[in-house]
Structure 1
Amino acid sequence: MSARTDTPAASASPLDPSRTGLSSFVLKVVAIVGMTFNHACYLFYPYLPVEARCVLFGVGGLTFPIMAFLLVEGYRHTSSIERYAGRLLAFALVAQVPYGLFLARNFNVLFTLLIGLMILHARDRMQDRVQFWIAAAALTAVSALCDWGIVGPLMILMMQTIPERRQRIILPLLVPILGTGLPALSDYLVSFDLALLPFALYPLVGCTAAIPLLLAYNGSRGRPMKWFFYAYYPLHILVLGVAKGLLLGDWSPGL
């Protein structure tokens, strides 16, 4: 296996103006905007008009596909899986406090990413394919307790194993688009209940819009923001949760 450096495409110049397309820095900024919109919608859901819910959830659907893609890129180039996994675990544990207080009772998405990383590492290290698939199935089952559930590790594994570049972006994103987006849209079309529409737009708009963004990735890092990207996840949940409590007197979890 080739040498790794913990950040996507670290062999590329971090600020190479000759490269066209999007760097990992730009993708991370988009993911940050998406997660902020998504969690703001979850937290303030009862107080928002349906139009705002549609916009916030639609943009929010960009986040996990980008995070999963960058995890795979990071795995391919990291020099230390142990340090990479350690950082994910540390921030997952920290983030679980505001996540559990303000968002949901399951485990946050950083645990989902960590499980995906463990599956990728097991695939490269375990010679016995039967043992690998048993381990992968067990880890995927555990991810049912986490944000994005079993779909998350499945998408991550597909992004790593599908050989053709366009297919390894498009095919994994078809999983949430077809698996959750179309059924949610069908539910809306049956009842025309506008309250159901935002949940359809989350995968249909967000995951679909993520496809051209990921296809435009140019393999460069751009401006470094590794620690900020990790730290932003728990901090923005804490800020949004406290803001809702102070402004509205509502300290209950989202939705």
Structure 2
Amino acid sequence: MAYNNKTALIKWIAILTMTIDHIGYYLFPSLLFLRVVGRIAFPCFLYTTVKGVRETRDFRKYLLRLVLTGVISMPITAQTGNVFNILFTLALFALSIKDYRFILPAIFLAQFTEYGLYGFLMGWTIYVLAEKQVGAGIVLFLLVNALQFPSLQGFAALAFIPLLLPVTFPVRPLPKWAGYAYYPIHQVVLIFIARLM
């Protein structure tokens, strides 16, 4: 799957902001700004999922990677109360945009995953943005996030800045499996460090 420069950059931003978020969660829970920065990650992962579904040569393998990483990560994310973690949310979203017949089942199942129905609706606003319907996407994006204020998740609205900016420079993409492997591994490392502190 050949990512373009923007998709590659958005994925790097997603990984970086997710890491900052988890550093805040596991190591420095009193530093709220780390969690605020971390709200940018989820919309960015949704964007790369839209592009991934559109550009993958084998959707079944793409979906399997999401689900398999989610299953492997379950013992880790269960410690935070999110048994069915973000990977399951992304998998349901990917399935729903690949085949619209799965939208209603995905909406139902999304309620049991991390980010729940909000995450699923957010996915569809990102889908509208990614499909070049920028005006409608921005409106939906801001409306969905407005429902989350004054909770921390409302700061996900900050993600529309990198999502809308053009990328005119080359960006080296992550290797295909690197992002998937990084998700459980970096959390294991942070949990280990937290227990030493």
Name the TM-score class by shorter chain: 0.7 to 0.9
State the match for 1:243 in structure 2.
Answer: 193
SS state at 1:79 partner: coil
1:80-114 deviation line (CA, Å, top 9, x unaligned) = 1111101111111111121113x224311011000
State the match for 2:114 in structure 1.
Answer: 147
Letter in 2 for 1:76: R
Q: CA deviation at 1:28?
A: 1.8
Tell me, in whole angstroms, the C-alpha distance in 1 between the residues paired with 2:50 and 2:136.
11
User: Aligned residues, how many?
Assistant: 195
State the match for 1:32 in structure 2.
Answer: 15
SS state at 1:145 partner: coil
**Aligned counterpart for 2:92 among listed residues 115, 120, 123:** 115
2:154 is equivalent to residue 203 of structure 1: yes
Tell me, in whole angstroms, the C-alpha distance in 1 between the residues paired with 2:144 and 2:25.
19
Larger of the two Rg values belongs to structure: 1
Q: CA deviation at 1:175?
A: 4.1
SS state at 1:146 partner: coil
Give 1:1-255 correspondences, 5 Å limit.
5=1, 7-9=2-4, 23-44=6-27, 48=30, 52-53=31-32, 55-101=33-79, 103-123=80-100, 132=101, 135-161=102-128, 164-167=132-135, 169-181=137-149, 184=150, 199-200=151-152, 202-204=153-155, 207-218=156-167, 222-225=171-174, 226-247=176-197
Tell me, in whole angstroms, the C-alpha distance in 2 between the residues paired with 1:41 and 1:244.
11
Unaligned ranges ≥5, structure 2:
none
CA RMSD of aligned residues (A): 2.4
Q: Please, which moves more after superposition, 166-175 or 91-100?
A: 166-175
Tell me, in whole angstroms, the C-alpha distance in 2 between the residues paired with 1:117 and 1:220.
28
SS state at 2:116 partner: coil
Q: Is the 8 A contact 2:53 2:59 kept in 1?
A: yes
